[in-house]
Amino acid sequence: MSRLLGFLFSALLVLQGCATTTTPQMGADGKPLPRLYRIAPGATAKLQYRMLDSVNALRDAAGAQPVQLNAQLNAAAATHSRDMSVQNRPWHFGSDGSSPMDRVRRVGYSGAMLGENISETYETELETLAAWMEQPDTRNVILDKRAANLGFAWFQERNGKIWWTLIMGS
């Protein structure tokens, strides 16, 4: 029995020596370079509900009522994310001159559009949400007490860049 344990311990040591550890590459600022975040095909619902849960946790902490995902707002967000990629710039106007309110009306949303947060990044949806929460104007969109609905979508380019859009509606 002790021979078997000795053999297993030796094998474990050998395997541990074979393990490779990768240290993160560091940028000029001394911080680790970001890793490419690839969104898997078919992950739409997973990401949208992770964002919804995170937004509702933040809203709860701020004393605001939870919001629900809205398919129409999701569609408006998806359209705008793809359009920002086509324009290669993060801004609130569509390539056709449309405003966020125009896009929300086009998809048939009957409530009021309260705000739109956008981002161009290689970061995850939760890192993007954290960045939005650091800025008063984008935080106010997320925590707007009048909000009842949320739309959230993205477009990821082949190079990994992600264009995120979050829309809040009443």
Q: Which of 29, 31, 115, 22 is nearest to 73 (CA)?
A: 115
Residue 5 has a pLDDT of: 41
Residue 128 has a pLDDT of: 96
Which H or E run contains 114? strand 113-121
- Whether 121 contacts 92, CB under 8 Å: no
Rg, the chain, Cα only? 22
Residue 108 has a pLDDT of: 97
Which H or E run contains 167? strand 162-169
**Residue 144 corresponds to which tokens in the numbers above?**
């707007």
Residue 15 has a pLDDT of: 42
Q: What residue has token string 């359009």?
A: 83
Residue 41 has a pLDDT of: 84
**pLDDT < 70 stretches in the chain:** 1-25, 33-34
Question: CA 79, CA 74: separation in Å to the nearest integer?
Answer: 9
Residue 3 has a pLDDT of: 56
Question: How would you class 149 by CB atoms within 10 Å of its CB: exposed for 0-12, middle for 13-18, buried for 19 or more?
Answer: buried
- Whether 131 contacts 157, CB under 8 Å: no
